């Protein structure tokens, strides 16, 4: 059979045959890429040096979680961008640290273990190997000598070590620093809590030095938990029954779990917590010192949620109780006509009167049963109930009723508000709904329909000593007065809550804690790592304990200092170990420090190396970590800084968020209940359901290779297709790239067909790095064409030929324009326009038939960060014996860029002015002369005198004629 016929028959479908046709014409990227990848690997070309006299540059990617699905073309975008920068900085003479590792603890490996019984470490190992293969094909300049995995004991022993440092630290609010716990103990021994300025739990009792000394050892330890940076506390947590674990606030999205989308409920549990709230102010202020994207900073600011106001205490009439509230509007104190408590508030039971008890109980129960979701979707519905009790207004002494309403959140502020219906819309609606009186305290403002919430120039009325003051004056005056009479104080409130640190999971870092008499104790430091034990089953135990409860060997012998079987727990000096593990964000909260000294056995990193490498100069990763990893890691860094372990309290000077590369899903339509599939244009008037088709079976004009679909899914062999003009046309839709949508494009396939250099440049060429953009394989031919042209500049037929003649000024201009543009673009991370600049240059050189060494050699260097393989190959062919990776980058020579003459007249505005392009050094006389010399201009001026020459920035002049 004639092979040509096969090509014709399948050419519109079969990309494989397309590809082989490309290859016959393309430069031999397959062999070149293999050659240089193994050259770089065996020469350790990219290992970062220490010590070094060179200036350092630290460029890092957010390390990947190695999932089972492998990489798709969307994943490497950020790595490509950072790799261009890393290689560029090497050419610029920097000692570059460009590491990579794996965030390898996580849920998917554990879920897989639950289903199959395979140990998560095995799954993880397989996935990592696959990731590494895929990454290696793209020619990254990673220093793999510094690779680590967060699930490796040699790494997580230091995660555990940091946990210990946090456990042994407290926050001194006077000097705004975390300090060793011993300092706190010394203070307690000497003075009790007197003059102690510490960030601690709200309900911590004050004690005297004598009281402290009289406490037992256990009681002292229990007391210290109120101060430690990581502490054990009974708290409301987001419990996800389906996942069988608690979730951090940022892991809950719209009331369901981020991973899996399962419902989340509130539950009280004893959990390890991180006292991140003590760093709220510093996390906020630190944002002003780092060059991160403004939207991301804004997200963190909102998440921290600083609000300035005051706490005010109201005594409850006829009860020995006080209600403390937080308000941002102390100026509206005289507008308070009722109080509202969250249904979960501690005082609810105590203060509700007997005749209201039944109603209150019912309401509290009803609110408790409503899920977060219901509450959110039901914002409009106003509900509440009166307690029967009254609070005494601290200024007016009047009695105001105390209500319960679920619009007040237990988790924010004090869980109670002073309600000012005239000044707050929710209070207003609540008051209207329940017919509670509304007092107007604003001068000349109408409040019949809505509360008056603007502050502006409003003056306060009806408010005793605040009358006539504006909002900010009244706020100051009110706080001053409250402080004088002891009923309140100025206060800054944050939305940021302490972070839950326990997970009821197997595949995470064990927490290095054992319990003696129910009191948590740290393992001795030299006993780390506390290795993850083997278990039979990865599910919780029958009694509901976390999976580590299944371990046979999971008890601590305090004297022998080692892990022993659980069955020995009743023996002397043997105690239970903590069963919870750390959350996913633990390992990633300090990893940037580890890269500086990844193989250190004796410390998490050597201080000299931390000092030398300093801050990450460029950190590239997705913005989805804004309120998770990127906040937690800043927090840990600040703690480590306070305790003197790291040299700076912000770890990344510049952050770039790369946008997602989206998939282009394809759908055909199945007639409901049949095996008949319709082309997208035929669905009118039919009952159909859209069916995803794997995009590898769809070509760029949306034609589906329906006769090959059965290769993908055997059931299509039985299907019938209704075609349009003989073709099955798919409907396209841009969505997130995902396995389940069958729109995944595998970088391996692209490397096979087009080569890694082409893939690298094409991903950058797609658009601005920060922007989300759809993948479209069709466009990639332009980049391959560019690299082929570039290759051909050096070749005559298959023969390598370059000329040593002097290049022409036009060629030099083309080269130096490109050098200038590309260098600028890299510095500004505008990598898509840099790629365009290369294309323009090569087009110009091609039409000029340029093969001069003086042009091509610097151009090869210039292109090397983008397309390293082809450039190394050409560099070698140019006669160099050294790799080009650390050759000095070419510099733009301005002398080649000079414009020598006025170019052309551009446009008339119709009457008196026209505009011409000119050079920076052109004089006014030159302009006049040029204007008159130009035929068209002279014709227009028609002998009239030039009245005025207006030189507007750089390039353009306006000439006014009279």
Partner RNA sequence: GCUGAAGUGGUGGAAUUGGUAGACACGUUGGACUUAAAAUCCAAUGAACAGUAAUGUUCGUGCGGGUUCAAGUCCCGCCUUCAGUACCA
Among positions 590-609, residues that touch RNA (CB under 7 A) are: none
C-beta of 594 vs 773, nearer to RNA = 773
> Counting contacts by CB under 7 A, is residue 830 touching RNA?
yes
Among positions 611-650, residues that touch RNA (CB under 7 A) are: 623, 626-627
Of the residues 4, 484, 526, 572, which one makes contact with RNA according to CB under 7 A: 4
Among positions 437-496, residues that touch RNA (CB under 7 A) are: 493, 495
C-beta of 721 vs 940, nearer to RNA = 940
* Residues 513-525: b if buried by 16+ CB within 10 A, e if exposed: bbeeeebbbebee
C-beta of 119 vs 306, nearer to RNA = 306
Of the residues 119, 130, 259, 426, which one makes contact with RNA according to CB under 7 A: 426
Q: What is the CA radius of gyration of the chain?
A: 35
CA distance 898 to 630: 47
Find the part of the chain contacting RNA (CB under 7 A) among 57-65, 806-814, 869-877, 952-960: 952-960
Do 826 and 808 contact (CB within 8 A), yes or no?
Answer: no
> Counting contacts by CB under 7 A, is residue 549 touching RNA?
no
Of the residues 413, 540, 583, 858, which one makes contact with RNA according to CB under 7 A: 413
- 545-551: list long-range contacts, CB under 8 Å, 24+ apart: 545/579, 546/503, 546/504, 546/505, 546/506, 546/579, 546/580, 546/581, 547/504, 547/505, 547/506, 547/579, 548/506, 548/510, 548/577, 548/578, 548/579, 548/580, 548/581, 549/579
C-beta of 607 vs 913, nearer to RNA = 913
Of the residues 31, 214, 771, 901, which one makes contact with RNA according to CB under 7 A: 771
Strands 655-657 and 618-621: parallel
Find the part of the chain contacting RNA (CB under 7 A) among 40-48, 573-581, 667-675, 830-838: 830-838
C-beta of 191 vs 948, nearer to RNA = 948
Site string for RNA, 870-899 (x = CB under 7 A): ------------------------------
Of the residues 1, 3, 5, 25, which one makes contact with RNA according to CB under 7 A: 25
> Counting contacts by CB under 7 A, is residue 147 touching RNA?
no
Among positions 277-316, residues that touch RNA (CB under 7 A) are: 294-295, 298-299, 302-303, 305, 307, 309
Find the part of the chain contacting RNA (CB under 7 A) among 38-46, 415-423, 525-533, 636-644: 415-423
Rounded least distance, CB 524 to RNA, Å: 40
Does 97 sit behind a cis peptide bond, omega within 30 degrees of 0 on the bond before it?
A: no
Do 769 and 659 contact (CB within 8 A), yes or no?
Answer: yes
CA distance 214 to 196: 19
CA distance 869 to 719: 46
Does 513 sit behind a cis peptide bond, omega within 30 degrees of 0 on the bond before it?
A: no
Q: Please, which residues have CB within 8 angstroms of residue 456's CB and are 6 or more apart in sequence?
A: 471
Find the part of the chain contacting RNA (CB under 7 A) among 649-657, 738-746, 764-772, 802-810: 764-772
Question: How many positions of this chain bind RNA (CB under 7 A)?
Answer: 91
Place of tokens 């929710």: 426
Q: Report which DSSP code applies to 889.
A: P
Among positions 840-859, residues that touch RNA (CB under 7 A) are: 840, 843, 846-847
- DSSP H/E element including 777: none
Of the residues 450, 778, 810, 938, which one makes contact with RNA according to CB under 7 A: 778
Rounded least distance, CB 383 to RNA, Å: 8
Of the residues 95, 123, 230, 327, which one makes contact with RNA according to CB under 7 A: 327
* Residues 834-857: b if buried by 16+ CB within 10 A, e if exposed: bbbbbbebbebbeeeebbbebbbb
C-beta of 533 vs 622, nearer to RNA = 622
> Counting contacts by CB under 7 A, is residue 903 touching RNA?
yes
Rounded least distance, CB 425 to RNA, Å: 8
| One-letter-per-residue 3-state SS of 711-758 | HHCHHHHHCEEECECCEEECEEEEEECCHHHCCCCCHHHHHHHHCHHH
> Counting contacts by CB under 7 A, is residue 8 touching RNA?
yes
C-beta of 627 vs 851, nearer to RNA = 627
> Counting contacts by CB under 7 A, is residue 409 touching RNA?
yes
CA distance 439 to 226: 42
Of the residues 915, 924, 940, 946, which one makes contact with RNA according to CB under 7 A: 915
């Amino acid at each position: 059979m004639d092979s040509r016929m096969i090509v014709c028959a399948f050419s519109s479908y079969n990309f494989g045959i397309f590809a082989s046709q490309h290859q016959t014409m393309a430069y031999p990227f397959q062999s070149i890429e293999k050659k240089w990848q193994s050259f770089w690997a065996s020469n350790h070309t990219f290992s970062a040096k220490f010590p070094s006299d060179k200036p350092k540059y630290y460029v890092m990617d957010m390390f990947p979680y190695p999932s089972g699905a492998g990489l798709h073309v969307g994943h490497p975008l950020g790595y490509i961008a950072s790799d261009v920068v890393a290689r560029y900085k090497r050419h610029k003479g920097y000692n570059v640290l460009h590491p990579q590792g794996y965030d390898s603890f996580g849920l998917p490996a554990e879920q897989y273990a639950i289903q199959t019984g395979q140990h998560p470490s095995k799954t993880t190992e397989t996935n990592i190997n696959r990731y590494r293969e895929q990454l290696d094909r793209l020619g990254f300049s990673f220093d793999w000598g510094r690779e680590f995995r967060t699930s490796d004991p040699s790494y997580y022993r230091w995660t555990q070590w940091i946990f210990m440092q946090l456990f042994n630290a407290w926050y001194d609010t006077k000097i705004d620093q975390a300090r060793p716990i011993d300092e706190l103990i010394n203070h307690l021994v000497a003075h009790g809590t007197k003059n102690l300025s510490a960030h601690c739990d709200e309900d911590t009792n004050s004690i005297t030095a004598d009281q402290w000394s009289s406490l037992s050892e256990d009681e002292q330890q229990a007391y210290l938990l109120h101060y430690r940076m990581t502490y054990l506390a009974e708290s409301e947590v987001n419990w996800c029954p389906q996942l069988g674990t608690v979730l951090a606030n940022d892991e809950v999205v719209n009331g369901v779990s981020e991973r899996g989308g399962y419902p989340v409920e509130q539950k009280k549990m004893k959990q390890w917590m991180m006292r991140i709230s003590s760093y709220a102010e510093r996390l906020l202020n630190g944002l002003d010192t780092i060059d991160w994207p403004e939207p991301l900073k804004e997200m963190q600011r909102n998440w921290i949620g600083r609000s300035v106001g005051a706490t005010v205490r109201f005594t409850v009439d006829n009860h020995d109780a006080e209600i403390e509230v937080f308000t941002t509007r102390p100026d509206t104190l005289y507008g308070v006509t009722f109080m509202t408590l969250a249904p979960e508030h501690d005082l609810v039971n105590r203060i509700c009167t007997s005749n209201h008890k039944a109603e209150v109980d019912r309401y509290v129960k009803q609110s408790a049963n409503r899920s977060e979701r219901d509450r959110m979707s039901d914002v409009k519905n106003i509900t509440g109930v009166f307690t029967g009790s009254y609070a005494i207004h601290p200024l007016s002494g009047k009695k105001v009723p105390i209500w319960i309403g679920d619009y007040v959140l237990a988790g924010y502020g004090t869980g109670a508000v002073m309600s000012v219906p005239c000044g707050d819309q929710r209070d207003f609606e609540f008051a209207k709904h329940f017919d509670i009186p509304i007092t107007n305290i604003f001068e000349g403002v109408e409040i019949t329909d809505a509360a008056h919430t603007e502050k502006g120039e409003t003056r306060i009325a009806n408010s005793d000593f605040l009358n006539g003051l504006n909002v900010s004056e009244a706020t100051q005056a009110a706080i001053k007065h409250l402080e004088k009479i002891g009923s309140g104080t100025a206060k800054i409130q944050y939305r940021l809550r302490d972070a839950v640190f326990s997970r009821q999971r197997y595949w995470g870092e064990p927490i290095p804690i054992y319990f003696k008499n129910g009191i948590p104790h740290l393992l001795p430091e030299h006993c780390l790592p506390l290795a993850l034990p083997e278990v039979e089953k990865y599910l919780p135990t029958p009694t509901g304990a976390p999976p580590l409860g299944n371990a046979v060997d999971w008890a601590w012998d305090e004297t022998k200092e080692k892990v022993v079987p659980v069955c020995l727990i009743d023996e002397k000096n043997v105690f239970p170990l903590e069963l919870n593990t750390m959350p996913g964000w633990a390992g990633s909260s300090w990893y940037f420090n580890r890269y500086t000294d990844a193989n250190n056995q004796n410390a998490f990193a050597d201080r000299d190396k931390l000092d030398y490498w300093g801050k990450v100069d460029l950190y590239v990763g997705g913005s989805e970590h804004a309120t998770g990893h990127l906040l937690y890691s800043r927090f840990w860094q600040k703690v480590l800084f306070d305790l003197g372990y790291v040299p700076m309290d912000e770890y990344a000077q510049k952050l770039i968020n790369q946008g997602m590369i989206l998939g282009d899903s394809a759908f055909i339509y199945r007639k409901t209940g049949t095996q008949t599939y319709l082309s997208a244009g035929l669905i009118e008037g039919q009952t159909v359901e859209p069916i995803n088709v794997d995009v590898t079976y769809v070509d760029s004009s949306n034609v589906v290779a329906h006769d090959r679909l059965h290769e993908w899914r055997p059931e299509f062999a039985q299907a019938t297709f209704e075609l349009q003009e003989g073709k099955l046309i798919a409907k396209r839709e841009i969505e997130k790239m995902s396995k389940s949508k069958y729109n995944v494009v595998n970088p391996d396939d692209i490397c096979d067909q087009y080569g890694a250099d082409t893939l690298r440049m094409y991903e950058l060429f797609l658009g601005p790095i920060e922007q989300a953009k759809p993948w479209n394989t069709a466009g990639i031919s332009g980049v391959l064409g560019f690299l082929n042209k570039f290759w051909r500049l050096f070749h005559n037929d298959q023969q390598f030929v370059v000329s040593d003649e002097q290049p022409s000024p036009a060629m030099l201009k083309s080269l130096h324009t490109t050098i200038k543009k590309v260098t600028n673009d890299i510095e500004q991370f505008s990598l898509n326009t840099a790629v365009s600049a290369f294309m323009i240059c090569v087009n110009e050189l091609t039409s000029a038939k340029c093969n001069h060494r003086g042009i091509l050699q610097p151009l090869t260097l210039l292109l090397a960060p983008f397309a390293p393989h082809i450039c190394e190959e050409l560099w070698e062919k140019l006669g160099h014996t050294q790799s080009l990776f650390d050759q000095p980058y070419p510099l733009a020579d301005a002398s080649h860029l000079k414009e020598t003459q006025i170019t052309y007249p551009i446009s008339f505005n119709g009457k008196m002015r026209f505009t011409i392009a000119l050079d920076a050094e052109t004089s006014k006389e030159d302009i006049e002369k040029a204007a008159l010399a130009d035929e068209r201009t002279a014709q227009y001026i028609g002998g009239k005198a030039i009245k005025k020459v207006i030189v507007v920035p750089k390039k353009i002049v306006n000439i006014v004629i009279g």
